[in-house]
């Protein structure tokens, strides 16, 4: 069970995600999509029930679970006075990474030419692309994406969709909450929270 204030968002919620799967969280505004993702990463507390990772409660293996999870929140979480390169290098020092090639990640997201500007000088869409570059660097098998298409144009949305599809096709897992229609060439499991 998960509460927001005194309101029960959901109870007896059960789902499973395995390697090579995408779980699309659906529901109207306020249905609990973001709250569920925040609770999974440990920013909110489940009132009861258990969250399992590889068959064990995450509370008993918090560090291992955190290392296996990459989180892209609705807000980008970038330091505005740092450059994209500095932001990504800083974050890469805090979590397991599969690559330290920050330039390659920025190039893939189409923002390499902006790598030496402070993040505050970038448009909202450019900042979102920099934030998503973290996912490319991360070694985490489980991606939790809250509104990954926020502030992105059509090209940016297509790019992010392709990267998510590649992650899942390579055996990764992804939970994604989005208001936009998500079209992936990969099996999609849907969880409606309305």
Average pLDDT per consecutive 10 residues, the chain (194 residues; last block may be shorter): 76 90 89 89 86 91 92 92 96 85 95 97 97 94 95 93 94 89 79 84
**pLDDT at residue 59, as a whole number:** 86
Tokens read off for 96: 């397991």
**pLDDT at residue 180, as a whole number:** 67
- In the chain, the domains with their CATH numbers are 21-49+61-192 (3.40.50.300)
**pLDDT at residue 56, as a whole number:** 92
Q: Write down the pTM of the prediction.
A: 0.92
**pLDDT at residue 32, as a whole number:** 87
Is 171:20 a contact under the CB 8 Å cutoff?
A: yes
Buried b / exposed e along 26-64 (16+ C-beta atoms within 10 A) = bbeeebbbbbbbbbbbeebebeeeeeebeeeebeeeeee
Please give the backbone phi and psi of residue 113, each rounded to the nearest 5 degrees, phi first: -65, -15
**Angle at Cα 115 formed by Cα 112 and Cα 118, nearest 5°?**
145
């Amino acid at each position: 069970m998960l509460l927001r204030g005194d309101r029960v968002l959901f109870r007896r919620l059960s789902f499973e995600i395995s390697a090579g799967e995408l779980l699309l969280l659906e529901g109207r505004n306020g249905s609990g999509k973001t709250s569920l993702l925040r609770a999974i990463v440990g920013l909110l507390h489940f009132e009861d029930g258990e969250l399992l990772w590889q068959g064990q409660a995450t509370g008993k293996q918090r560090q291992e679970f955190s290392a296996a999870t990459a989180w892209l929140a609705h807000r980008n979480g970038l330091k505005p006075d740092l450059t994209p390169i500095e932001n990504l290098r800083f974050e890469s020092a805090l979590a397991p990474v599969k690559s330290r090639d920050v330039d390659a990640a920025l190039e893939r997201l189409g923002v390499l030419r902006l790598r030496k500007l402070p993040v505050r000088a970038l448009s909202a869409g450019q900042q979102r692309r920099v934030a998503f570059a973290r996912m490319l660097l991360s070694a985490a098998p489980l991606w939790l994406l809250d509104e990954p298409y926020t502030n992105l144009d059509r090209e940016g949305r297509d790019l992010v969709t392709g990267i998510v599809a590649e992650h899942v096709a390579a055996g990764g897992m992804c939970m994604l909450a989005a208001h936009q229609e998500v079209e992936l060439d990969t099996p999609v499991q849907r969880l409606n929270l309305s």
